[in-house]
Chain A
Amino acid sequence: MGSQGGFGQSKEFLDLVKSIGEARSKSEEDRIVLREIETLKRRINEPDIPKRKMKEYIIRLVYIEMLGHDASFGYIHAVKMTHDDSILLKRTGYLAVTLFLNEDHDLIILIVNTIQKDLKSDNYLVVCTALNACCKLINEETIPAVIQQVVELLGHPKEAVRKKAVMALHSFHQRSPSSVNHLISNFRKKLSDNDPGVMGATLFPLYDLITIDVNPHKDLVASFVNILKQVAERRLPKNYDYHQTPAPFIQIKLLKILALLGSGDKKSSEQMYTVIGDIMRKSDTASNIGNAILYECICCISSIQPSPKLLETAADAIANFLKSDSHNLKYMGIDTLGRLIRISPDIAEQHQIAVIDCLEDPDDTLKRKTFELLYKMTKSSNVEVIVDRMIDYMISINDNHYKTETASRCVELAEQFAPSNHWFIQTMNKVFQHAGDLVNPKVAHNLMRLIAEGFGEDDDMSDSQLRLSAVESYLKIVDEPKLPSAFLQVICWVLGEYGTADGKYSASYISGKLCDVAEAYSSDDVVKAYAVTALMKVYCFEKAAGRKASLLPECQSLLEVLSASHSSDLQQRAYEFQAILDLDANAIENIMPLDASCEDIEIDKSLSFLDNYVLKSLEQGAEPYIPESERSGTLNISKIRNHNAYEHPTHSLRFEAYEVPKPVVPTKIPSTVTYPTDIVPVTVIVSEPSYQPSVQPSWPLVPVSDAGSGSGSTELKLRLDGVQKKWGKPTYSSGASSSISNFESDRTTVNGATQINTLISKPREPRQSNVEVSEEKQKLAASLFGGKTSRSKKKQSGGAAGHSKVSRTTNHGEDKVQPAAVPVTVTTAVQPPPPDLLDLGEPAGDTSSYSSTVDPFKQLEGLVDLSQDVNATASATTSNGPDLMSLYSDADLNGSLNQNPNAMNGSVNPSKKTASLTKGPSLKDALDKDALVRQMGVNPTSQNPNLFSDLLG
């Protein structure tokens, strides 16, 4: 189609492209590009460059920018080129500026004028080009300059222009919704445009508008349903078909819109049921695009008012997705399952084995999606298994973005569903240890508060047990290198508060650990502050209890270092500590009462204890205090700052951060007294480190606190009350027998699971019979889904049920052996990667499903590659002539289409000569191209033998 007329550029540029193509390393590529940049900088500023030459320079700029280098020196020339009268140059100019400039670039203002002019052009192609540029370049400020013209173009006789005008308005709407709001009626009108392309384009802005507010568009439901029906019935022109499916992209967009419109609206939803049902029935599950529509239908069904019949169809479709060999479809299956379980929780039950297969799949994308599903279906009965799995996964990934997400999900689930506080603390420890810097600091404070407040207000025993277990776990962990800061803060605080509470650990032992922490993390001021305050508490508790308390030498030296610290906070803490050292036990007990972190501190806001002092001062002739409001001009800034927080809480603007609440002593004191010598205010500060300002008196973790109230902290219980019926049949009664043994089984599967994870990377063995799902997997399913074991028990005979019980009790021993079976069944699905030659873009699962369709492109898959690769590599060694000949001879020899499956099956058969000859002229084209390129001296090297291979081949 007119593209074969050579490459139309100068030798110089072709050489550049060639040398980039042959560059063996990124640094070599960079060197070549930098040289090119130098050349262009020089050339482009020469006077009187012929326009054609300039056009080539601009394309070269595009090229170097595409390779990731800065071509900003030439932007202005690209802008100038848009002003040109010749459409040839104008088009190049517009292409370059749309690629170079983001919408906020300064040069855009220079283009707006040109765009305005071009939108008025008689030539519709110029208008199209200008509209393309509008979509990328017109920003919020410049929208008013062009919007009127664009709206007028909605009535242009050419459908291509109308379509682009709609899309331009759509992009304006995305940038500044208010600018387009008055045009809603225009969009609605365009919905009935007689060109399907324009109608299809109109769906984009309408979708956006409906996303923002559904209500004004409810009346369109009937129209959308009608359009969808027509599309599905193939009323659109044939050329909108895509692989025998009628206008699938329009169908998908319409389904998205209907999903929004029908959400929570019974009346609208009812209008859609028939058409959605029809589409699902008609959809071609063998093709990718058919499945895309199916997926969108399921999304729509899960969003609108549920219809039992449609839900059933959707569940069937999901089952097919999950059963498919294609990873893509499995992924979609997991996704849709996650959508549908919100409406009908039962449907996951039948897919549990498939879900677990996906969870253990080597494909990380699929795994991640499955974790998302698990996250959605977590409840009290399976939280332990799921969170354990998530933590294992979190530890295994490096991607910070997903580590953070997984960590926060773990925290969220643990806070919401924790079966016991002990488990909660253990889980939190793990999360902190591996992702501490990534979780929200609030979580750390919540954890501290949980330990401090305990869960049973009337049960001191379990509280202290909990604390002891926390202290023990932290003493174990604290020596590990490189703990995250947030976690260390928790550790220091807990050790300080409760380290010596039971008398199990001596004060000097705890102090030693704390000193170690302060030393090991000497660059972290916050951790040091926590450590010093903790040391102080340990010392105070010792002394208050009447024991002989002495400071360790390392503690002494730490204090000395800190009292000269650059951080005033650390200094203050160090000095406070030193001040405390001189006090007697009685005073200390008042300052640092044992286990008082939860008690409210009464603050004497009127500072009545100073009344005597004030009175005495007044008697001695000091000036009385004048309240701020009564003072005249003497008001100064610093005073405002001091008083603001307390005396003017409603002050409208504050520019400083809120300070930590401290009793502001000096307000009533005559100016001669600079700082109170009394120690009392200090106690208020030290008993609560200033890093916990976000701690509120109320306790948000309600489920946790009431969860544990009855049970001991070490004995874990599943909380099954009222939830187990959600999944599967209600066999898990909340009776006593289920709880503990059930947990046992959970535990072991988890152990097994971690082993599985490590085993997955091992070499794969031939697939075993997949009919029988391994027991291990069933157990995991049972712990995740709750209902499965009961189901399988029911299906099996009584004896089998008994057997399964036995296996449960013995599965501690089995663990070591069992996991080997699981990875086999899971991972053998992935065959060894085929050699390069056959490594095609299409996953095998897809092709197998495609093979039944009549798509000519798909059928060709794998045919050309083989032959051309052989040729290409051969050509590196042989001369040009014979190579070309061999290509021809290949063409003559060409194999039949039927060989496709063989080629696809991965059995490399080098003797097989295949070539494509479906499109008559195209082979000749390819040869011409090949010859042309070789003339220019581009030879496919062994580095990239595929350069010539047909992309669709």
Chain B
Amino acid sequence: MIHFVLLISRQGKVRLTKWYSPYSQKERSKVIRELSGMILTRGPKLCNFVEWRGFKVVYKRYASLYFCMCINQEDNELEVLEIIHHYVEILDRYFGSVCELDLIFNFHKAYYILDEVLIAGELQESSKKTVARLVAAQDSLVEAAKEEAASISNIIAQATK
């Protein structure tokens, strides 16, 4: 299972963190510090895996962003590498040529999408289309709710005039 997902920029800035196993806030900071020290310094042609505290961390770099996932010893690293890629492809579809900036300002959306890809530390949906459909459905619902709210506030504004 995946214990956590980290998105770190090349400068070591945190872009997204999702913890599937319990870690206290203090441990989280320590984990991020340790791992960014280990991963950001690795050369480009080395393995995409590092062993860490008895776990394995699989990472992949996209432009200036590192996507890291921590897995158990017995898990399949190559598979996890593809899960990362799967997530990035879905992000790319959603944002349209996703770039780091999208994730910086829309981190909550990245979380929503991640929630459709992974659940309880496992890959829940391997069909990009299904994920896209579900996220879109949620978005349209949100849009509808927004419009409703806007119209209600219009009505209130009208009424109070």
Contact = CB atoms under 8 A, between A and B. Distances in A.
- Do A and B pair up? The answer is yes
Interface of A: 1-4, 7, 9, 14, 17, 20-21, 29, 52, 59, 62-63, 65-68, 70, 86-88, 91-92, 95, 98-99, 102-104, 123, 125, 128, 132, 135-136, 160, 163-164, 167-168, 170-171, 174, 196-197, 200-201, 204, 237, 239-240, 242, 247-250, 252, 288-289, 291-292, 295-296, 299, 327-328, 330-332, 362-366, 368-369, 401-402, 830-831, 833-834, 839-845, 857, 865, 919, 921-923, 925-926, 929, 933, 938, 943-944, 946-953
Nearest to B119: A167
A951 B127 contact: no
Contact of B79 (A292, A841, A929, A943): A292
B100 A949 contact: yes
Given A7-B106, A68-B28, A125-B138, A401 B112 contact: no
B48 A328 contact: yes
A98 B17 CA distance: 12
B155 interface: no
A20 B108 CA distance: 16
Interface in B26-53: 28-29, 32, 43-51, 53
18 contacts: A2-B143, A91-B138, A160-B134, A197-B130, A237-B127, A252-B79, A292-B78, A296-B76, A328-B47, A362-B46, A857-B89, A919-B97, A922-B97, A925-B97, A929-B99, A933-B105, A951-B98, A952-B88
Interface string B109-135: 101100100011011111111101011
A951 B43 CA distance: 19
B108 to A, nearest CB: 5
B96 A91 contact: no
Nearest to B11: A944
A157 to B, nearest CB: 15
B53 to A, nearest CB: 5
A933 B88 CA distance: 21
B49 A1 contact: no
Given A252-B79, A947-B100, 15 more contacts: A3-B106, A68-B29, A70-B25, A239-B130, A328-B48, A330-B47, A331-B47, A839-B44, A840-B61, A840-B63, A922-B96, A933-B105, A950-B98, A951-B88, A952-B97
A306 to B, nearest CB: 20
Given A102-B22, A128-B134, A331-B77, A948 B14 contact: no
Contacts of B54: 401
Interface of B: 9-11, 13-14, 16-18, 20, 22-25, 28-29, 32, 43-51, 53-54, 60-66, 76-79, 81-83, 85-86, 88-89, 91-102, 104-109, 111-112, 115, 119-120, 122-130, 132, 134-143, 145-146, 149
Nearest to B111: A95
B87 to A, nearest CB: 10
Contact of A833 (B29, B43, B137): B43
A926 B119 contact: no
Contacts of B62: 841, 951-952
A855 to B, nearest CB: 10
Nearest to A26: B12
Nearest to A89: B145
B101 A933 contact: yes
Contacts of A168: 120
Contacts of A363: 43, 46-47
Nearest to A335: B77
Nearest to B1: A174
A857 B93 CA distance: 12
B127 A926 contact: no
A14 B79 contact: no
B61 to A, nearest CB: 3
Given A17-B104, A68-B29, A946-B64, A843 B76 contact: no
Contacts of B16: 66
B5 to A, nearest CB: 12
A196 B129 CA distance: 13
Contacts of A840: 44, 61, 63
Contact of B63 (A62, A136, A248, A949): A949
Contacts of B65: 946, 951
A951 B16 CA distance: 15
A171 B82 contact: no
A929 B102 contact: yes
A170 B76 CA distance: 20
Nearest to A948: B99
Contacts of A921: 96
A163 to B, nearest CB: 6
Contact of B95 (A3, A104, A160, A366): A3
Nearest to B67: A841
B94 A946 contact: no
Contact of B140 (A2, A331, A365, A948): A2
Contacts of B104: 17, 21, 947
Nearest to A949: B63
Contact of B100 (A136, A174, A196, A951): A951
Contact of A249 (B79, B89, B109, B139): B79
Nearest to A200: B126
B97 A830 contact: no
A306 B101 CA distance: 51
A174 B120 contact: yes
Contacts of B83: 249
Contacts of A923: 97
A213 B8 CA distance: 39
Contact of B105 (A7, A328, A845): A7
A242 B82 contact: yes
**Residue among A52, A247, A951 with max Cβ neighbours from chain B (10 Å):** A951
Contact of B145 (A87, A164, A201): A87
Contacts of A943: 11
A52 B23 CA distance: 30
B103 to A, nearest CB: 8
Contacts of A242: 82, 86, 126
B137 A125 contact: yes
A203 to B, nearest CB: 9
Contacts of B94: 1, 3
A831 B45 contact: yes
Which residue of B50, B53, B78, B106 has the most chain A CB atoms within 10 A of its CB atom?
B78
Nearest to A123: B141
A834 B46 CA distance: 13
A52 B142 CA distance: 12
B48 A843 contact: yes
Contacts of A17: 104-105
A827 to B, nearest CB: 12
Given A103-B22, A923-B97, A204 B122 contact: yes
Contacts of A946: 10, 63-65, 100
Given A2-B136, A949-B64, A332 B14 contact: no
B96 A1 contact: yes
Contacts of A136: 20, 120
Contacts of A67: 14
B127 to A, nearest CB: 5
Nearest to A841: B61
A204 B124 CA distance: 9
A926 B97 contact: yes
Contacts of A66: 14, 16-17, 107
Contacts of A365: 46-47, 49-51
